[in-house]
């Protein structure tokens, strides 16, 4: 069966998270540096399987949304994850995006590439009028990524039990370079 890619960029093929991605998902969830601004790292395989099951179920219930994996076009290997979902996982709410890049690939612009591509996908596929992203106030690199894509700081918000900066991108604000 052919793989379905939601989004393609010059360097990445972005497809839905699958059961077969457990090793990648676990590696990312257990990495303290990668998870530093997201949530506490998790090294218990059963807990990570539970998180992954929640993501897979959300994607199944909301076609075209959910957690995704960024595959390098050059190597065919996964290098990142992304997510496009309803805020608070509540259908009818605005869409939010997120991203995480394996540490071996930091500093190469992949987070910006994923964020830009997921925002465009939200606007084109779901006709979203706006997209949100939530960032730890101390995560300056992620704030820069969002600003490069055209997001603007719109306030603070308690989301997923964390006090976050809320970034907003209106459809006409997407920066495509």
Task: Judge whether 163 lies within some domain.
Answer: no
Distance CA 159, CA 109 (A): 26
Distance CA 153, CA 148 (A): 12
Task: Judge whether 140 lies within some domain.
Answer: no
Task: Judge whether 55 lies within some domain.
Answer: yes
Q: Is 148 within 8 Å of 175 (Cβ atoms)?
A: yes
Task: Judge whether 92 lies within some domain.
Answer: yes
Per residue in 4-39, pLDDT tens?
A: 778 999 999 999 999 999 999 999 999 988 788 888
Which residue segment(s) compose the domain that 46 sits in?
7-129
Domain count of the fold of the chain: 1
User: Which residues, including other chains, have CB under 8 Å from residue 56's CB and lie 6 or more apart?
Assistant: 17, 18, 19, 66, 67
Per residue in 66-89, pLDDT tens?
A: 999 999 999 999 999 999 999 988
Task: Judge whether 134 lies within some domain.
Answer: no
Task: Judge whether 21 lies within some domain.
Answer: yes
Task: Judge whether 159 lies within some domain.
Answer: no
168 burial (CB, 10 Å; 0-12 / 13-18 / 19+) is middle
What secondary structure letter does DSSP report for 87?
G
Q: What is the CATH number of the domain that holds 69?
A: 3.40.630.30
């Amino acid at each position: 069966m052919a793989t379905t890619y939601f989004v393609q960029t010059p360097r990445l093929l972005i497809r839905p998270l699958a059961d077969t991605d457990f090793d990648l998902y676990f590696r990312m969830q257990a990495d303290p540096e990668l998870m530093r601004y997201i949530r506490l790292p998790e090294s218990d395989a059963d807990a990570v399987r539970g998180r992954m099951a929640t993501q897979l179920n959300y994607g199944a219930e909301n076609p075209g949304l959910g957690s995704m994996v960024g595959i390098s076009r050059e190597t065919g290997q996964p290098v990142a994850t992304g997510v496009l979902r309803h805020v608070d996982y509540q259908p009818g709410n605005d869409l939010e995006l997120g991203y995480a890049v394996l540490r071996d690939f930091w500093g190469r612009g992949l987070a910006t590439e994923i964020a830009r591509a997921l925002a465009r996908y939200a606007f084109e596929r779901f006709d979203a009028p706006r997209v949100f992203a939530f960032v730890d106030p101390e995560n300056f690199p992620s704030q820069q990524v969002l600003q490069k894509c055209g997001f603007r700081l719109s306030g603070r918000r308690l989301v997923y039990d964390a006090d976050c900066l809320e970034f907003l991108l209106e459809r006409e604000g997407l920066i495509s370079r």
